[in-house]
Structure 1
Amino acid sequence: MSQSSVAASSAPLSDLNTTPLIDVLLVLLVMFIITIPVATHSTDIDLPQCNDCTPPPPNPLKNLVSINAADQLFWNGQPITNEELALGLAQTRALAVEPELQFEPAALASYDAAVRALDVIKRSGVTKFGIVGNQKYRSFGSS
C-alpha cells in the first residue's frame, strides 16, 4: 500500500451526520401538529323562545334542580322546562348573594336529560354549584 492511500483512509470524515438532526426535526414537527388547536365548526340554529315562561321564584339560600326517572326537570320540587330553568338561573345570578345551586338526577334519569340540564346550568354562569344525592349510590348495585 502506498502512503497516500493509508493517509486518505485514516483522514476524518468531513460529512455531517444528519440523522440526529432529522430525528429532532421530526419530533418537533409532531409536537407542533399535536399542539395546533382543533378547528371547531359551529352551525347556528334558531331555537324557539319561551315567551310565557314563568319560573318558580328562587330560594335566596339554595335551590335544587332535580331530574326524575321520567326525565322531568324540577326546580325546588316544581316541574319546569329547560327554558324556565335558564330564566330561574338568571334570576339567581341577579340576587345580591348568589344562592347555592344543587343538582340531583335520579338513578334512572337518562344521561341525555342530565347533560341538557347541566348545559343550561353551565351557560347560565352559575358559580355556586354542587351535585347532591350521590351518597345513595355509594355501594355499587344497591337499590
Structure 2
Amino acid sequence: MSFGAFNHHRNPGPMADINVTPMVDVMLVLLVIFILSAPMFTSAVQLELPKAQAQSAPAQPAATVTLSIDGKGKIFWNNDPVEQSALEARLIDAAKLEPQPELQLRADKDTRYEVVAQVMAAAQANGLSKLGFVTDPKEKK
C-alpha cells in the first residue's frame, strides 16, 4: 500500500499555505498611519467657564525662612550670616514650629553644588520638609 510519498518523479501540487506577509505589511502601514494621525483627532474641549464672585478663604501666611548662599559658600539666614553649627541649631528650632516654615533657598550661580547639597541634607536631617528654590525670572528681550 504505497501512497507515493517516495515517488520523486511526481509533480508537487499547489501550495495550500496562507501567505501572511502582505497582510502584515498592510497592517504595519495602517498602524503607522494611525499613530501619525492620532494627535490630530485629540483636541481640547473649548469651554467658557462661568464667572463667580466669592471671597477667598483667609489663609494663614506660612512663615518663610530665606537661606542665601553666596558664590564663596557663605550661608545667610534671613540676610544674617550664620555658621554651619549655628545653622543646624536654627534648623532644629524651625522644625519645631507649627506650622513649619518654608525654606527658600537662594544660591548664587557660582555656588558649588556641594554647599547647596549640604544645606539641603541638613534641612532634611533636622526635620524640615518644605524647601523651595528661588530664581530670577528670565529677562525679556
Q: Percent identity at matched positions?
A: 23
CA contact (8 A) 2:73 2:111 kept: yes
Distance 1:75 1:109 in 2: 16
CA contact (8 A) 1:82 1:120 kept: no
- TM-score scaled to structure 2, two decimals? 0.50
1:34 corresponds in structure 2 to: none
> Is the aligned partner of 1:103 residue 2:112?
no
Distance 1:118 1:61 in 2: 18
Find the residue that maps to 1:104 and give its secondary structure.
strand
Distance 1:80 1:64 in 2: 12
Relative to its length, the structure with more helix (as a share) is 1
2:129 corresponds in structure 1 to: 127
Q: Which has the larger radius of gyration?
A: 2
Distance 2:112 2:129 in 1: 25
CA RMSD of aligned residues (A): 1.9
| Consecutive unaligned residues in structure 1, runs of 5 or more | 1-59
Distance 1:125 1:93 in 2: 6
1:89 corresponds in structure 2 to: 91
Equivalent in 77, 80, 96 of residue 78 of structure 1 = 80
Give the alignment of 1:1-143 within 5 angstroms.
61-133=63-135, 135-136=136-137, 138=138
CA contact (8 A) 1:64 1:102 kept: yes
- TM-score scaled to structure 1, two decimals? 0.50
Find the residue that maps to 1:122 and give its secondary structure.
helix
